[in-house]
Amino acid sequence: MTTAFYRRDRSQQPLPLSPGYKSTVLRAPVRPLHALEQTVLEQTGPALGHTPLGPLDHDLIRNAATTGDALGERIYVFGRVLDENARPVPNALIEVWQANAAGRYAHVRDGYLAPLDPNFSGCGRCLSDAEGRYLFRTIKPGPYPWPNNGSDWRPAHIHLSVFGEAFSQRLITQLYFEGDPLIPLCPIVNTIPDKDAVDRLVARLDLRNQEPFDCLAYRFDIVLRGRRQTHFENRTEGL
């Protein structure tokens, strides 16, 4: 049977309207969100993490290669997908996209002058295992300028889209890299008012998990919403 999820803790989330990030000014709703009780619809979700993926889907260094490996600093990004109760979330689907090592996206709408890499598409995906562990291999993306307050610069980041076991757990976010001086200057990072929450978007260098003479490793754990404890299970729907 399904049980309800904890209400989303909005204090840990970005503010919808954050004028420093100009695109929010006309896109953030003005009216408050309307709170509803969950039904079984929100407590379940599509089983996207139960279909096996292609053997190179998690390897962005090779999955779009034509003449050789993608250029850049070779890294693993790995960690665990957990819920708020610290339980592993198995079979989570994680889709990722990112700029190349020069800070350029392989996207028709990106006009940044930095070069494309013919061996890199910036698209990948992986599944978490029974203990919630996931891993992908990629190159460290470059920072890039964007028109916001004149030329702002994005810190190096990877976009992650996560499906847990229920629609209520849906999450799209970005991970940043430990030590990047652009993080505190970024208007998109600064849409999150809680500094500890920002810190949880920073992947940590993990030298012990490197691939020697090949690849550095960064650790990034993902936490999805958790279900209320089972003693609430039999409460009447709709109260």
225 catalytic residue (yes or no): no
**The two three-digit tokens of residue 214, written as one number:** 């090949």
Is 176 a residue of the active site? no
User: Which range, of 21-29, 70-78, 130-138, 177-185, touches another protein by CB under 8 A?
Assistant: 21-29
Question: Applying CB under 8 A, does 23 fall inside the site for another protein?
Answer: yes
Q: Is 231 a catalytic residue?
A: no
Q: Which of 76, 134, 144, 218 is catalytic?
A: 144
In whole angstroms, the minimum distance from the beta carbon of 213 to another protein comes to 30
Active-site option among 8, 62, 133, 159: 159
The amino acid occupying position 199 is D
Q: Per CB under 8 A, does 29 bind another protein?
A: yes
> Of residues 41, 115, 131, 232, which one binds another protein by CB under 8 A?
41
User: Would you say 176 and 156 are in contact if contact means Cβ atoms under 8 Å apart?
Assistant: yes
- Beta carbon nearer to another protein, 9 or 211: 9
Residues from 181 through 220 that contact another protein (CB under 8 A)? 188-189, 191-192, 194, 197-198, 200-201
> Six-digit token pair at 140?
């460290």
- Each residue 93-132 as x (binds another protein by CB under 8 A) or -, in order, gives --xxx-------xxxxxx----------xxxxx-------
Query: Which position among 58, 80, 104, 105 bears the catalytic label?
Result: 105
Measured CA to CA, the distance from residue 172 to residue 141 in angstroms comes to 18
Rounded Cα distance between 143 and 112, Å, is 11
| Angle at CA of residue 104, ends 181 and 223, nearest 5° | 60
Q: Indicate if 10 belongs to the active site.
A: no
Q: Does 57 contact another protein by CB under 8 A?
A: yes
Instruction: Determine the residue type at 179.
Output: G
Shortest Å distance, C-beta 121 to another protein: 7
Contact predicate 169/150, CB 8 Å: no
224 binding another protein? (CB under 8 A): yes
Catalytic residue flag (residue 157): yes
DSSP string, 60-117: TTTTT-SSSPPPS-EEEEEEEEEETTS-B-TT-EEEEEE--TTS--SSTT---SSPP-
Least Cβ distance, residue 96 to another protein (angstroms): 6
| CA atoms within 13 A of residue 153's CA, in its CB half-sphere | 13
Q: Please list the active-site residues.
A: 105, 144, 154, 157, 159
